[in-house]
Each structure stands twice: as structure tokens, then as C-alpha cells.
Structure 1
Amino acid sequence: MATVDVDAYLDRVGVPAMRPSPEALATLHEAHVRTIPFENVDIQLGHTPSLQLSDITDKLVRRRRGGYCFEHGLLFAACLERLGYQVTRGMARVRPDSPHGSRTHLVLFVDVAGTRFLADPGFGSGLLMPLPLEDGATTEHGGWPYRLRRDGRLWRLEKPDEHGEWVAAHAFDETPQRPIDYVVANHFTATHSHSPFTQRLIVQRLDRGSCRKLFGNRLLVEHATRPSGQPRAVAADELDEVLRWLDIVLDEDELTRLRQVYAGTEPPGA
């Protein structure tokens, strides 16, 4: 935790230091999600993302890159603790109603002012703000509703499907996790052939009312209150421009390698 530069982090997300409160937590959570991209570029380049806080800080804060749930969550948790919050690190099973849903998603429980909140800044196009850990708690996230439902010892984070039916995005209990648990989950997520993160480039940028998504070579802007457009194909020579539009800037070596992988001329990690 001591390796995290909180001042640099707050400058990165554009929020001043504030005393712990539910309102301050919501402000910081939203600023984090709207500023730091969700992306798996390193995995597409054949690298397993480091879970060392010094490496995460260098990547997401100083180099102004993004990352996926483990990187987002560990950085956010450490900064919250440095700011005086009580944080418990947990794990969720993504798509719990699917036989292929894996327990590989980092979630955070933050206790402040007598209330426990689910904080989840690394859930791709999901939560813009924390949710109170209360059965039936429903909140809007940039126009997309989410709710929490208690199911025995499990909590289910639910969102409406295209028919308006509530479906589970992920499910979790409140068991604290150890650092080694994330090492194991990170290894699977970054290296296994069945992981969606090894199969294609994924970038998501959630904002109020819209979400920009690059899945493989398909770019889509989804809207909360109006019909979304059709996805368009992105060629390898457009990657730099598109990634910059998604707030990701790569160095020349990274961009060259990603173009090769993206165009299918070189397998990841070759």
C-alpha cells in the first residue's frame, strides 16, 4: 500500500483529497471509472499483467494506461485505504447462471459511515458508482440500472436484459480474499485459452449515458436512452487513432506488436 502515490492518483482522476464519506466514495469511484480505461492490451501482447502495486501505479497512473479488474480494484483499494477507508477485498463469479461463469472477478467492500458498499471500478462497462450492500438496492449507472439481491449467503449483482428481465452479472459472498487468490485468478484470466481476455482485444469506456466498446475489430457506442448504432469494423492501421479516442496511448513498440497480433500475422506472445 505504501508504494501507491495517492497524490498522483488523485491528479490522474481529477479529484481532490476528501474526508471519507459515502458521497466522497461515490465521487472518487465515478471519477476513476470515467478516467482510467478498462483494457486488455498487455494480454493481447502476450504479457500477464503484474499485480504489484508499484507496477499497477506506474501503468494506470503514470503511463496513463488502463487495465482490467485486478489492476483497477487493487489500485482503488490501496488508494481508499490511504485516504482512511476500511476496505475488504473479495471475489465474484461472473455470469453465475452460466456453466462457464468463472470466479475470477475482484470486488471491494468499503465500510464508511455505518454502511457497507460494493465498490467495483473494474467491471468493464458496469458500475459507475458504489452500491450500498442492501437487498434490493437499485441505482442508476450513467443511465443503466443495476441492483443487488440477496440469495442465501450470496449477493447477486443484476442488470436488465434486452427484455427488461433482471439477470445476474456476477455473484459473490463477503469472504475476504488473500493476495494469492488474485494471483491464481489473474493467471487463468490472462493466459487460458478459454478466457475471453486472451481471445480478442477488449476496451470499454463507460461514461454518463454512453459506453464506447472495442471488442476484437468491432467498435460500438452504446447509449442508455436511445438506440445504439451498428458496430463498425476497425482495421489494424486505424488502431492508434481508435485507441487514442478510447484514452489509450501506446508507445511505438506496443503499437507495432498489437497491430501484428490484431491483423492475425502473429499469435499473442510469439
Structure 2
Amino acid sequence: MPFESFVEPYLLRLGLSLDKHRTPSAAGLRALHRAHIERVPWETLEVHLGRPTTVDPHEAIVRILRGRGGCCHHLNGAFATLLTALGYDVTWHRGGVQSDTDSQPPGATGGHLVLTVDCDGQTWVVDVGFGEALYEPMPLRAGSYRQGPFTYRLRPSQVEPGGWRFDHDERGDFAGMDFTLEPAAPADFAEQHAATFTSPDSRLVRIASVMRRRANGVDHLRGCVLSSTDGTDRTQRALTTADDWFGALAGTFGITLAEIDPAERTALWEKVRAAHTAWQASRAEQSA
């Protein structure tokens, strides 16, 4: 994809201009990261629309330019491509997310894509693909990092020799993520991506989710429940009608789904509502 065909439109999607991002810098990297997190949501709607996706970053860029988002492979792959085009020194790495503290860390399976960027004499951990974690880059250095109301920790991995461990805030949607520093390429994520987007056991397949990180919190649409977290405060609202659900998509996350017709909208809502009902029943059985 030629430079001029996507860089300026991509920056416009982020509310930024090329004139201010012609030279790589740590300050520029932070601004790009924050803008991407705020304006491009983490979302799994393509799964529920029955549209297969791949780990091709240019495919993801096309979706982002249409006003959509994606999961970690899509968002970080697209962002890496943008950063590279802007002159940043970017490396892809395999990661693996630990869903909760009761499960074992999987190691760097490739289920997650994480980036590092060398800039201004420092290596930065860059990740716009969590949906509800990093708001801006972290230095690749052990320690605790406060970003808005949340605190994250970076330390050497105990399961990935020579790798690193990202510990999420205790209020986060997952426990943490281990990653290797070995360079990776899109093909290294293809198998895990396919499994994540097709396996009936995958939570991305079981229930539709959309997330957006803000400077002071997180918005999360899981099935038919919209929640917002701002530090210690958390609100939840059930979306019981199609108008409410599509209204939340557009109003909270900026996803209008203008590209789908009325029949597809109806089918998507019915699928999301049915999956949400099944998910609620499953949770009730587990807690009984």
C-alpha cells in the first residue's frame, strides 16, 4: 500500500495532521498512541457479522479508514504499519494473554501481538490492541506505571525466558500478558488468529464486545450491557432494544455500521441478543 494512499487518511482518522508527525519522536509516539486508543475501538463485530478477517495489516487499515476497529492483531498490525511509514523503528512480538489469576499464563503463543518502538534512545512498549489497558507507551523497563486511574506493572516474564510480563490493573478485564522480544511477522499470528475468530470456545465468538480506553477510564459493551469505569466508579446499563444497542455503538464508540443494510442490522442485533442470553445462562449455571 503506497505511503500517500493511507498515511494522511489514517492520521485524519486519528484527528492528527501529517505536518506535526513528519519526524519520529517520543512525544509524537505518545500523541499517536493516545489518539489511536481514543478513536479506534477494540471490537469483534466482524465475527458476528460473519465476515472472516486475517492478520494482514493493510486489510485492517482499510477497515479502520471506514470507521471501524478490530482486535489486537488488527489494531497493532495497522498501527505498526502507520508508525513504520512515519519513520519509527517498530518490531512485532508474539504475546499471550492470561485471562484471569486462576488460570496459568500461556506464554508467548501469538494469541496477542505487542509492539516495541526504539525512539529517542529508548525502547517503548506500544500496544493499542488491548482495548482497555495502555493509554500511552511504557518504557521497556521493570516498574509500575500509572496511567489515568489505572496502574500497570512491567517485569521479567516467569514463563517466557528472556521475555517480559505486563501485569494489568487489578480492575482490568484480564490478568496480564507475557511476550517475547524475538521479532515476529504477520504469519506468526495467523494460526492463533484463525482459532480465536472461529472456535466456539473463543470468547470473541461467544459474545460481541466493543471497548474503548479513555484518559480517565474505559467504556465496554459486552453483549447487551454497556459499562463505564472511571477510577473507582463503575456504571452499567442494559441495552434492551436494537435502537439502544446501535445508539451505544455510534454514540460511545463511534461505530455507525453505515456499510451494512437494514436486514444485516436486524440479523446482527438478533444474533447479539441471543448470544447474550446464552452467555447469561452459562454464567448463572457456573455460579449456581
Q: Same fold (TM over 0.5)?
A: yes
How far off its partner does 1:177 sit?
Answer: 1.4
How far off its partner does 1:118 sit?
Answer: 0.7
How far off its partner does 1:232 sit?
Answer: 2.2
**2:2 is aligned with what amino acid?**
A
How far off its partner does 1:46 sit?
Answer: 2.3
Structure 1 portions without partners, runs of 5+: 266-270
1:218/1:233 contact within 8 Å kept: yes
Equivalent-residue separation in structure 2 for 1:67 and 1:85 (angstroms): 22
1:236/1:262 contact within 8 Å kept: no
Please identify which structure carries the higher helix content: 2
How far off its partner does 1:168 sit?
Answer: 4.6
- Report matched runs for 1:56-205 at 5 Å: 56-61=60-65, 63-95=66-98, 98-99=103-104, 101=106, 103=109, 104-136=111-143, 138-151=144-157, 152-161=161-170, 168-205=175-212
1:106-156 deviation line (CA, Å, top 9, x unaligned): 1001111221111000111011111110122x3222321112111351211
Tell whether 2:9 aligns with 1:2. no
CA RMSD of aligned residues (A): 2.2
How far off its partner does 1:49 sit?
Answer: 1.9
Q: 2:222 aligns with which of 215, 240, 251?
A: 215
Report the equivalent of 2:279. Answer: none
Q: Which of structure 1's runs of 4+ aligned residues deviate more than 6 A?
A: none
Equivalent-residue separation in structure 1 for 2:149 and 2:25 (angstroms): 24
2:43/2:209 contact within 8 Å kept: yes
Structure 2 residue matching 1:243: 3-state secondary structure: helix
Q: 1:261 aligns with which of 262, 271, 280?
A: 271
| Larger mean Cα displacement after TM superposition, 106-115 or 42-51 | 42-51
Equivalent-residue separation in structure 2 for 1:236 and 1:199 (angstroms): 20
Equivalent-residue separation in structure 1 for 2:42 and 2:191 (angstroms): 20
Tell whether 2:16 aligns with 1:15. yes
Normalised by the length of structure 1, the TM-score is 0.88
Aligned residues: 258
Structure 2 portions without partners, runs of 5+: 276-288
1:88/1:109 contact within 8 Å kept: yes
Report the equivalent of 2:52. Answer: 48
1:194-234 deviation line (CA, Å, top 9, x unaligned): 2110010111111011211111111111111x4212x2221
Percent sequence identity over aligned pairs: 30
Equivalent-residue separation in structure 2 for 1:72 and 1:216 (angstroms): 21
2:226/2:237 contact within 8 Å kept: yes
